[in-house]
Amino acid sequence: MRRTYISPEYYNNNVYGTFNMVEESNFFGAKMLEVEDSISIDKQDIIYYQKLNGEQIDFSIESSLESYIYSSSNDKLDNHTLIIDESQSKYQLDKDTKWIMNINLNKILSNYLFATLKRYRTFEGVRNEMNKYNDVDVAIRNYIKYNVLDRYKYKSIDLYVDYKDMRDQSLLRYKNDWNINTPVSSRLSKIQTETAFDDSFIKLTFNQEKSSSEYNFDYYFNISFEKI
C-alpha cells in the first residue's frame, strides 16, 4: 500500500456519554429523567450514602459509611433573608411593622433535587473521571441546571408566623426566630409576593398582625413547585 504522507486533520476519540450533561433530543426521542408532577419542600430530611469522593458505586459498601443528610429546613434557612422594610414610617415601624423576606427558590429547588437524585442513586456507577468536571457532584448539579430546573415553576408558598409576647424582654424587639415547629395553624394569609421573571427568587412582604412593641415571632415556610 502506498503511503500518502498526508496527516489527518482530526482524530476520533471515544469518550463517556456523561461528559455531556445536557440532554440532546433527536428524531427518535431522547433519554430524559422522569420527574415528579409536583414538589413540596417542607420539613423532610433526605438520607443517602456515597463514597467520600462523592461517587456511588456499591451500596453494600457505602451503606456501612456515615450517611449524608439533606435538611430542607436548614436549606431554607440558609437561602432566605428577613429584613425590616426601610421605607415604612416610624409609626408603622413601632406598630404593625412591615417585613421583607427574600427567598432563593432556584437554590432551594436545586439542592432538593440533588439530594433526591443521590437518594435514588440515579447516577450510580458514574465515576469522577467519567465527566469533564472530574467531580461527579458538580456533574449532577450541572445536569439539574441544564435539564431539570426549567421543567418546574413556582406554585405557592405557605408562611407561618407565631407571635411571642416579649413585653418583659424589650431587648428581643424585632428579634424573630426561624422555628421548624411553628404551628400550621399560624399560617399567614395577608402577604404580598413578587417573583423574578424566571422564578429564581421570590420576595414576600407582610405586616405584623400584633404590635411589634409587644410581640416578636417565630416563623417558618413551605414551598411548592409544579411540573411545566
127 part of a folded domain: yes
pLDDT tens across 134-158, in order? 999 999 999 999 999 999 999 999 9
Question: pLDDT grade, residue 2 (50/70/90)?
Answer: low
pLDDT tens across 44-103, in order? 999 999 999 999 999 999 999 999 999 999 999 999 999 999 999 999 998 899 999 999
162 part of a folded domain: yes
68 part of a folded domain: yes
Q: How far apart are the first and last CA of the chain?
A: 60
Mean pLDDT to the nearest integer, 26-47: 78
33 part of a folded domain: no
Question: pLDDT grade, residue 27 (50/70/90)?
Answer: very low
Domain that holds residue 115: 40-227
102 part of a folded domain: yes
State the pLDDT at residue 141: 96
DSSP 187: B
pLDDT tens across 97-133, in order? 999 999 999 999 999 999 999 999 999 999 999 998 9
10 part of a folded domain: no
Contacts of 214 (CB under 8 A, 6+ apart): 165, 166, 167
17 part of a folded domain: no
Structural domain count, the chain: 1
Q: Which amino acid is at 63?
A: S
Using the Cα atoms of residue 130, residue 34, residue 71 and residue 159 in order, give the sign of their dihedral.
positive
2 part of a folded domain: no
